[in-house]
Amino acid sequence: MRIEVRNLKKYFGKTRAVDDISFSFAAGQVVGFVGPNGAGKTTTMRVLATLEEPTEGDAMLDGVSVVEEPEQARRLVGYMPDSLPTHRDMSVSDYLDFFARAYGIRGARRRQVIDSIEEFTNLGGIREKTLHALSKGMKQRVSLARALLHDPPVLIMDEPAAGLDPRARVELRELVRALAAQGKAVLISSHILAELAEICSGAVIIEQGKLLMAGTMNELLTHSVPKRRVLIRATDRCDELLKELLQMPYVEEALQTGDEIAADINGSEEVCADVLAGLIARGFRIVEFKHQRAGLEDIFMRVTTGEVQ
Amino acid sequence: MREGLLGRLDDSVNPIVVKELRQAVQGKFVASVLILLLVIQLIALGLFLISGDDFSNRLTAGRDAFMILQTILLAVCLLFVPAYTGARLAFERSDANVDLLFITTIKPVAIVGGKVFSSLTITVLIFSACMPFMVFTYWLRGIDLPSIFVVLGLAFLEVAVYLHLATFVACVPSGRVLKILLAFVTLIILFWGFVGTVGTSYSLLTTGVGSRLYSWTFWGPATAVLINAAVTIGLLFFTSVAMLKPVSANRALPVRAFISAMWLGGLLFSAIVSSVERDNTALGVWGIVSAVVFSGAFFVAVSERESLGLRVTRRIPRNPGLRAIAFLFFSGGASGVAWAALMSVLTVAALSALLMTSSGMREVGGLREVRVWMIGLPLYALAYSLSALLVRRHLLRRWMGPKYTWGVGLIMLAGGCVVPFLIGYLAFFGNWSKTEEIGAWLIFNPFALGVESFKTTYLTIAGGWALIALAVNFGWLITQVKSFRPVGPRPDTAAPEIESAAV
């Protein structure tokens, strides 16, 4: 299963909500879809879910075009919007039963599927409650359950963690991990980047409808944060160590905070190893030499400008 | 065994029907309306009974009471039920909040069918609740049971037609402003239908149905009404389904195929009726209805997509003969114009051929007037729609896509009907003269084709204008004709990959 977004464009009048975006990912991956408000994330996701037609370009789900064959694409994709649409006078059970019927799940299998999804998303205790009586977290669970009813290989989740309490967020994260482990391809957007970084194997960053970066987390780090920050702790001679570091090639900056020195090294992991070897050769007794990884937040802040259309 | 049978039955029910009826049963709205209706009926009947003098002297008491109850029933079923159905569907289809139902694998035909069926079920519920009160009027004299059931049947048929109309309007892909405008126009049509049905009901009850139940004087018009209602429902249903299909689908095919089949069936039926009855009215009605439908088809056609996607083009036949036929029925602006033009020509040709070959029909005559409308209406429609296409393509290109060309056409049509007349009124004739005297100011008005002394002028102007419009849009037509050919597989372009091991 491959998900390919090809030169996607979506204009609303003069506003270019999505402007020539291309990226692709495969089954088993969780890809974060990141961008400031109004960047075009929801629009792109709605195109992938066949809710919107692109102005130009296409998206392929395992070779099935969402533009040309939306009916086929709908079998492959589960879409979880940022909020559960309201349905009057419907219980959770009726809601899931309706969508299971709409997806053509018939007979005893329908009950089995609904039961297993309710168990997976922990909805068993609220199945008779009406939708409008549910909390935000419960609504998100119902929304996820609905998106999973037809067992789609691709899952599109638009801001699933928005408005959730810490426990619900942790549970959602575990659900997403479990889905990826089942081999589903997950595209997930969120503003809570620290949490996104924990579950994503890659990320797509967009702003003002344009693609800024796309790749695995390592690739993004390498491209957007070329310097490596290492944290160094020695048993003694910290002041000398700081001076020595500042004289070494590739070390751009070094700062001492307490007994720890943070050094920015412009180079690969081999260069870091050379720096460590050099320090030891000069007689410094190093007890800690740790690579401080930049997070998705760092990357996001570096590549985006914060401008809106 | 029983569970298996019930399970299969349960599976066969349309999911939309299950959802809509569950919501109707569990919600308070429909139940409240039903109870309110019954209370109103009860109060109305009670007031009628206590306000009456001596019922033994009132021979029309039953009919009067029935008409009061029928008016209340029609107000609910012809105004409330279609408006409720249409508004709900329109809300679910709104651009900002498309219901997730539309991204399931359920087919558009099931969506439209389910919506209409569940609304009809609610209508049946309302009719069933009201029927005891209405049948009670039989004992008040002045009305017979066949009349009660025929009038109720006619009302139900009207509700079915208006439900399809409301569904059709709800399915029209348009922005909020246009949707509100369309809803307003639909409400006027619903109100018009309500008034018309009340009038027809009263007329039927006054003349009485029971005595004519076994004669052709009843079944002739009844058959015509049933056929017209069935064709209208079919047309609205297929068009609604087509509008719910993805833009990439061959949306036009089922609609054009249905209309073509109905056109042919209508021709055969009306020819037989005209021949047997020795009266050309049926043929005349067929001709006028065909002209109106194909005139409307021109406005729809110029609003269709101008370039076909892979999904449609890969189904284009390779055989040139089959491709020519497919061109007429496949989606596309030029295809639509060609189909509507061909069908308009065939309508006139079929009528002329029938009159030439059948001496009986020729003797009866009376179709000269009809032929003027059959020729004039499509010519004006072609001229207006192609002029709108020209305006949209060259003047409004930046602001408007093809799908709103019909709106430009209708505005031009309204302008063509009103502006020359107003200029003439203000500058020249200055009072409401006879149409025969001011006919020259109505040359852009297709509804003035009945003005006897200007018929030839109007037809000449409509024909000339249509030819010029066709000539200036010739490039648009030819480009689409040339591009109507099967294509190879999609070119493969690579997108940047996000590669990594699973989480």
Is residue B3 assigned to a domain?
A: no
Contact criterion met (CB < 8 Å) for B497 and A22:
no
Number of domains observed in the structure of chain B: 2
Contact criterion met (CB < 8 Å) for A74 and B105:
yes
Q: Are B364 and B225 in a shared domain?
A: no
Which has the closest alpha carbon to B229: B140, B129, B170, B162?
B162
Q: Are B62 and B175 in a shared domain?
A: yes
- Helical spans, DSSP H, in B137-251: 145-171, 176-207, 216-244
Q: What is the pLDDT of residue A96?
A: 92
B103-119: burial string, b at 16+ Cβ within 10 Å, e else: bbebebbbbbbbbbbbb
Residue pair A150/A75 in contact by the 8 Å Cβ criterion? yes
Residue from A71, A79, A110, A130 to probe the interface with B (highest B Cβ count within 10 Å): A71
Number of Cβ atoms within 10 Å of the Cβ of B60: 15
On chain B, the residues whose CB falls within 8 A of the CB of A50 are 103, 246
Q: Are B239 and B333 in a shared domain?
A: no
User: Please, is A35 exposed, middle or buried when counting C-beta atoms within 10 Å of its C-beta (0-12, 13-18, 19+)?
Assistant: buried
In angstroms, the CA B239 to CA B221 distance is 27
Q: Are B154 and B200 in a shared domain?
A: yes
Q: Which residue of B has its CA nearest to A198?
A: B503
DSSP track, chain A? -EEEEEEEEEEETTEEEEEEEEEEEETT-EEEEE--TTSSHHHHHHHHTTSS--SEEEEEETTEETTT-HHHHHHHEEEE-SSPPP-TT-BHHHHHHHHHHHTT--HHHHHHHHHHHHHHTT-GGGTTSBGGGS-HHHHHHHHHHHHHTT--SEEEEESTTTT--HHHHHHHHHHHHHHHHTT-EEEEE-S-HHHHHHH-SEEEEEETTEEEEEEEHHHHHHHH--EEEEEEEESS-HHHHHHHHHHSTTEEEEEEETTEEEEEEES-HHHHHHHHHHHHHTT--EEEEEEE---HHHHHHHH------
Q: What is the pLDDT of residue A309?
A: 57
Q: What is the pLDDT of residue A162?
A: 79
User: Please, is B473 exposed, middle or buried when counting C-beta atoms within 10 Å of its C-beta (0-12, 13-18, 19+)?
Assistant: buried
User: In the listed set B244, B279, B302, which residue is the last one of a domain according to the structure?
Assistant: B244
Q: What is the pLDDT of residue B57?
A: 67
**A79/B contact by beta carbon, under 8 A:** yes
Is residue B494 assigned to a domain?
A: no
Two tokens at B415? 């302008």
Q: What is the pLDDT of residue B405?
A: 92
In angstroms, the CA B399 to CA B339 distance is 28
Two tokens at B443? 């040359």
For residue B429, give its domain range.
246-487
Is residue B497 assigned to a domain?
A: no
For residues A173-185, give the mean pLDDT: 89
The predicted complex's ipTM stands at 0.77
Q: Are B450 and B357 in a shared domain?
A: yes
Question: Going residue by residue through chain B (503 aa), what tens digit of pLDDT does each one get?
Answer: 456 777 788 888 899 999 888 888 887 888 888 888 889 988 988 888 887 666 666 777 888 888 999 999 998 888 888 988 888 888 887 766 667 778 888 899 999 999 999 999 999 999 998 888 888 888 887 788 888 889 999 999 999 999 999 999 999 887 778 888 888 999 999 999 999 999 988 888 888 787 788 888 888 888 888 988 999 999 999 999 999 888 888 889 999 999 999 999 999 998 888 888 778 888 888 999 999 999 999 999 999 888 887 778 888 888 889 999 999 999 999 999 999 999 999 999 998 888 887 766 666 656 778 888 999 999 999 999 999 999 999 988 887 888 889 999 999 999 999 998 888 888 877 776 666 678 888 889 999 888 888 888 999 999 999 999 999 999 999 999 998 888 765 555 556 666 543 33
> What are phi and psi for residue B496, nearest 5 degrees?
-55, 135
HSE toward the beta carbon, residue B290, CA cutoff 13 A: 32
Contact criterion met (CB < 8 Å) for B105 and A53:
no
Q: Which residues contact A18 (CB under 8 A, 6 or more apart)?
A: A8, A9, A10, A40, A43, A44, A47, A54, A206, A209
- pLDDT(A224) > 70: no
Is residue B316 assigned to a domain?
A: yes
**A101/B contact by beta carbon, under 8 A:** yes
For residues A99-116, give the mean pLDDT: 90
In angstroms, the CA B328 to CA B335 distance is 5
Which has the closest alpha carbon to A180: A74, A26, A64?
A26
Q: β-pairing, A251-257 with A260-266? A: antiparallel
Which has the closest alpha carbon to B126: B68, B77, B191?
B77
Q: Are B305 and B398 in a shared domain?
A: yes
On chain B, the residues whose CB falls within 8 A of the CB of A99 are 100-101, 104
Q: What is the pLDDT of residue B502?
A: 37
Highest-scoring range by mean pLDDT, A108-117, A216-225, B485-494: A108-117
In angstroms, the CA B364 to CA B359 distance is 9
DSSP track, A112-153? HHHHHHHHHTT-GGGTTSBGGGS-HHHHHHHHHHHHHTT--S
Q: What is the pLDDT of residue B33?
A: 85
In angstroms, the CA A247 to CA A242 distance is 9
Q: Are B196 and B312 in a shared domain?
A: no
Of A94, A104, A200, the CB nearest to B105: A104
Q: What is the pLDDT of residue A308?
A: 58
Number of Cβ atoms within 10 Å of the Cβ of B296: 16
Q: What is the pLDDT of residue B452?
A: 80
Is residue B1 assigned to a domain?
A: no
In angstroms, the CA B296 to CA B413 distance is 12
Q: What is the pLDDT of residue B376?
A: 93
User: Distance (Å) from the C-alpha of residue A288 to the closest C-alpha of chain B?
Assistant: 29
Is residue B502 assigned to a domain?
A: no
Q: Are B166 and B113 in a shared domain?
A: yes
Contact criterion met (CB < 8 Å) for A65 and B310:
yes
DSSP track, B273-327? HHHHHT-THHHHHHHHHHHHHHHHHHHHHTTS-SS--HHHHTTS-SSHHHHHHHH
Residue type, B480: Q
Q: Looking at the whole model, is its pTM more than 0.90?
A: no
Q: Are B195 and B309 in a shared domain?
A: no
User: Distance (Å) from the C-alpha of residue B500 to the closest C-alpha of chain A?
Assistant: 6
Contact criterion met (CB < 8 Å) for B19 and A28:
no
In angstroms, the CA A165 to CA B423 distance is 69
In angstroms, the CA B500 to CA A27 distance is 10
Number of Cβ atoms within 10 Å of the Cβ of B286: 26
Number of Cβ atoms within 10 Å of the Cβ of B365: 9
In angstroms, the CA B483 to CA B415 distance is 35
User: In the listed set B244, B264, B282, which residue is the last one of a domain according to the structure?
Assistant: B244
| β partners of residue A260 | A233, A257
Is residue B498 assigned to a domain?
A: no
Q: Are B357 and B317 in a shared domain?
A: yes
Q: Are B315 and B219 in a shared domain?
A: no
Q: Are B263 and B157 in a shared domain?
A: no
Question: Rounded to whole angstroms, what are the CA distances from B420 to B44, B269, B441?
Answer: 51, 41, 6
Is residue B5 assigned to a domain?
A: no
Two tokens at B64? 């009067």
Collect all residues from B whose CB is shorter than 8 A from any CB in A: 7-8, 11, 15, 18-19, 22-23, 26-27, 97-107, 246-248, 309-311, 490, 493-503
Two tokens at A231? 């944290």
Q: What is the pLDDT of residue A27?
A: 87
Number of Cβ atoms within 10 Å of the Cβ of B236: 22
Q: What is the pLDDT of residue B253?
A: 92
Contact criterion met (CB < 8 Å) for A99 and B18:
no
